[in-house]
Every structure is written in C-alpha cells, then in structure tokens.
Structure 1
Amino acid sequence: MNKTLYNEIMERGKTSSEDAKILGVVVHGTKEELIELINNPLIKATSFGVITDPIY
C-alpha cells in the first residue's frame, strides 16, 4: 500500500514537501502525551475518536 501511494504522489509531480499541500494529520498517544498539544497555535481544529477490537 505504501509503495502504491508513494508512486501515485511521484507521478503527480509532488516530489518535495514544498509541492505537497497538507490537509490534516492523525495524532495518537496517551492522554498525558496528547495533553501537551493543548493550546498549540498550529492546531486549528480537532476531533476525537476511539478504535477498539472487533466484537466478532
């Protein structure tokens, strides 16, 4: 999957960080680690989600 995504990015001419537009990121960590991000001026919006193991 990563190789396919990488090839697609290269084919579109996005060969450096200056060429790519960042729309968002995924951050994960413990409660204590994420608390450090509160009031960070680079963060414009957030949402919270939880991933669990399947029941079945």
Structure 2
Amino acid sequence: MDRFLRNAGADRVGEDASIKLCQLLEDSADEIVSKARILARHAGRNDVTREDIVLAANMLYAL
C-alpha cells in the first residue's frame, strides 16, 4: 500500500495510513463482488464476468 500512496505523491507514509487504505480497498472490492454476483445470478449465470464487475462498480460508484 505504501507504493500506491507514494505513487500518488506522498513523500512519507504512516503505517496506519497503509493499513486503512488496504481496509478501504478490501471493503470496496467486497461490495463490487457482491453486486456483481447478484447481476450474474439475475442473468441466469453462476460465473461472474468482467462486464458484471464493471457494471457493479459503475452502479456503486457512478463511474
């Protein structure tokens, strides 16, 4: 996580900042996957596709 923060321009990164970023990204991924599973099931599929992931992210975060 330090690398992501440094690439974004942070000169110094606290350990708690890295941990929090990791937690937030995991929570976001969980939400996206959960929504994508619902979309796949609605379409009559067991497999989650790339399109399900993209649509779920767009629905959740209006990208």
Bin of the TM-score, shorter chain as denominator length:
under 0.3
Give the TM-score normalised by structure 1. 0.24
Give the TM-score normalised by structure 2. 0.23
Which protein is bigger by CA-based radius of gyration? 1
More RCO (CA 8 Å, sep 6+): 2
